[in-house]
Amino acid sequence: MRDHLAPVLIVLALLAGVPLVVDSNVVLNFLKVALMLALAGTGWNLLGGYGGQFSFGHAVFFGTGAYAVAVLQVRFGINAWAAFGAGIVLGAVLGLAIGWLTFRAGLRGSYFALVTLAFAEVARIIASVWPLTGAGAGILIPLREGFLTLQFGSRAEGYWFVLALLGIAMLIVRAIEVRRFGAQLVAVRENEDAARALGVDVLRVKLLAIALSGGITASAGAFYAQTFLYLDAGLAYGPWISVEALLTAIVGGIGTVWGPLLGALVLQALSELGKHLGGDAPGLGLVLFGAVLILVVRFAPNGIVGLARSLRPRRLARG
Amino acid sequence: MAELLAEAEGITVRFGGLVAVNDASVPVPEGCIVGLIGPNGAGKTTLFATIAGFQKPNAGSIRFRGADITRLPPHRRAALGIARTFQIVQPFAGLTVRENIAVGAHLRHAGRADALAAAEAVADRVGLAPLLNLPAASLTVAGRKRLELARALATEPQLLLLDEVLAGLNPSEIRDMIPVIRAIRDGGVTVLMIEHVMQAVMALAEEIHVLAGGRIIARGGPEQVARDPAVVEAYLGHGAAARLQGGAHA
C-alpha cells in the first residue's frame, strides 16, 4: 500500500545504522554535514527540480532558519526545540511571502533566479548590521549539552537528528511525487499555459511549493546553527549555501527524491578531497564545484540518478 | 434550437492600435459542433483565447450556463467545464503520454490511481492507447494533436474548444480524426472548433461563424456560409464573388 515509501525507508534505516558500525568522528562529521547539505538541497529540489523555479538564493531560507533558532533562544530565552520549529515555520512563511511577490508578478526563469539572489543578499546585509542578529560580530548559542537544549553530547545523536530531518523531507517529497499536487507541480515546470488550461491553479501550486521548499531548507539552517552554535551573516545568508543547495540537487539528479542525497555525498567527498590535495588554498573548493557542475550539465544533465537509470533497461510502466 | 451553453457577446480585443477582434458575438448551443472559420489573421485564435480566459477582452462578455465568466482565470473556467487545445501544441514534453493526460484527469480525480485510470480511458477514446508509455516528446505531429485533445477531454469538459486540431495532418489522418471529434460530441460534449481544413468543418459543424478582419461577417449552416458572397470575398479578395458568379453564367 505504501510501496512508494519503502525504498526511502530502507536507505534511511541503513544510514541510521552507520554510527553503530563506524566509530570514527571524521566519518560521522563528514556524513552529518553531507546530510545537512542534502536537506538544504531537498528543499531546493522541490521548488527547482519538480517545480522548475530555479532559485539562486535559497540561503535566504537557510539563514532564516539558522537565525530564528539562535535569536529566539539567545535573545528571548525560548526553548531550543520550540525555536527549531519556529525556524521551520518562519522559512515556510518567508517562502510564501517571496513567492507571493515574485510569482504573482509573473517572474519566471532567470528573472526569478535573480530576484531570489537579491532577497538572500538583502537578508545578508540586514543580518550584518542589525543588533538583534548580532550584526557584524555574529551570535553565539551558549554551549549547554542536553536533550532539552537540542545540543547532543555524542556525534551519533546529532547525526541521527539530521538524518531524521532529511528522512521526513524525503518522505514528504516522495509522497508529493505520487499525488495530484506532484503531477500539477511537474506540469507547471513543463508548460505553465498548458497546465492552466487543464485547470491547474498555477499560482497556488507555486506558492505551496516555495513554502514547503523554504521550510525544508530552513530546517537545514536551524540544524547548522544548533550544531556549530555560532552564526554570522556570511555563514547564514552567504551565497555558499545557495550554491550548495542547488548543486547537490543538480549533481545528484534534479527532480528526483534521491538526487540531493547522492549529490551531497559526492560533493562533500570532493570538497574533503580538495582540502587534502590543495591544503588551505582559498576558493579551491568552489573551483572544484564549478568544474563538476560544468561536467554534469554537459555529460549527465540528469545527474547521478539519470546516469544510473540510463545504465539499466528503461522501466516502461511508471506509475 | 437547443439552449445556449456558452456565449461570447460583443467581444473586442485591441493590441495597441490593432483591433484583433471587433464586436464579435458567437453563441454556442448545447450539444452542437460549432465552427469558427476565417482567413489567416482574422482574429479566430484571439477570440478563442478570450473564451478560454487566456486573453482579457477590452469590451464584451463571456457567459457560460448563464453566468458571466468574463473575469474568471483559465483554471477556474476549466473547473466549470471549459477545456481548450492549443493551435501550437503544448505537450509536457518531459512526461509520458499517460502522465500528460493524467494532469488533465486530476482536475476531477484527486487520487493518483483514479487519475491514471481515467487517463487510460481517454487515451482509448482518441486512439492513443498504444502510446501511453512513450515520452510526449517522441510523438509525431498527429500524435501530439491527439494528445492535446486527450488532455482537454480528460478534464471532462462540457465545452471543448478545439484550435486547429486538424492542421498539419495528412488527409488520411484527418479522415481518422473526424469520427473521433463526432464521437466526442455524441458523448455529450459541446464543441467549438477553429479549423482551416474546410472539408472537415463542412462535414462536422452544424453551425459556422465566419470571422474576417476581427468581425463576424457571416453565420449559418455549412452550405449557406459557403455560398455567402461576403465569405467568398473575404477568402479570395474583393470582387471575387461577382467574378465567380459571372464565370458560372458565362
Q: Cell 544533465 maps to which residue?
A: A301
Terminal CA-to-CA distance of chain A, rounded, Å?
14
Q: Which residues contact A252 (CB under 8 A, 6 or more apart)?
A: A41, A258, A259, A260, A261, A262, A263, A264, A266, A303, A304, A305
Torsion A158-A163-A169-A171 (CA) sign? negative
Q: Please, which contacts does A77-81 make with residues 24 or more away whose CB atoms are closer than 8 Å? A: A79/A148, A80/A148, A80/A149, A80/A150, A80/A151, A80/A226, A81/A148, A81/A150
DSSP letter for each residue of chain B: -PPEEEEEEEEEEEETTEEEEEEEEEEEETT-EEEEE-STTSSHHHHHHHHHTSS--SEEEEEETTEE-TT--HHHHHHHTEEE--SS----TTSBHHHHHHHHHTTT--SHHHHHHHHHHHHHHHT-GGGTTSBGGG--HHHHHHHHHHHHHHT--SEEEEESTTTT--HHHHHHHHHHHHHHHHTT-EEEEE-S-HHHHHHH-SEEEEEETTEEEEEE-HHHHHH-HHHHHHHH-TTHHHHHHHHHH-
Predicted complex ipTM: 0.87
Which three cell numbers mark A64? 532564516
Comparing CB atoms, the residue among B52, B93, B133 nearest residue A317 is B133
Partner-chain contact A187 B111, CB within 8 Å: no
pLDDT in single tens digits along all 250 residues of chain B: 568 899 999 999 999 889 999 999 999 999 999 999 988 888 999 999 999 999 999 999 999 999 999 999 999 999 999 999 998 899 999 899 999 999 999 999 999 999 999 999 999 988 899 999 999 999 998 899 999 999 999 999 999 999 998 888 888 888 888 999 999 999 999 999 998 888 888 889 999 999 988 999 989 988 888 888 888 888 777 777 777 666 555 4
How far, in Å, CA of A237 to CA of A228, rounded? Answer: 15
Q: Does A287 touch chain B (CB under 8 A)?
A: no
Strands B4-15 and B82-84: unpaired
Which of A200, A99, A225 is closest to A150 using CA atoms?
Answer: A225
Beta bridge partners of B4: B29
Each domain of chain B, given as residue ranges in start order, spans 31-249
Taking CA atoms, what residue in A is nearest to B155?
A198
Q: Does A283 touch chain B (CB under 8 A)?
A: no
Q: How far is A204 from chain B (nearest CA, A)?
A: 11
Instruction: Identify all chain B residues contacting A316, using CB atoms and an 8 Å cutoff.
Output: 133
Q: At what angle do helices A202-228 and A25-45 cross, to 10 degrees?
A: 160
- Considering the four listed CATH numbers 3.30.750.24, 3.40.30.10, 3.40.50.300, 1.10.472.10, the one that applies to the domain covering B31-249 is 3.40.50.300
How far, in Å, CA of A236 to CA of A71, rounded? Answer: 13
Q: How far is B121 from chain A (nearest CA, A)?
A: 15
How far, in Å, CA of A114 to CA of A136, rounded? Answer: 25
pLDDT digits (tens, 9 = 90+) for A212-232: 999 999 999 999 999 999 999
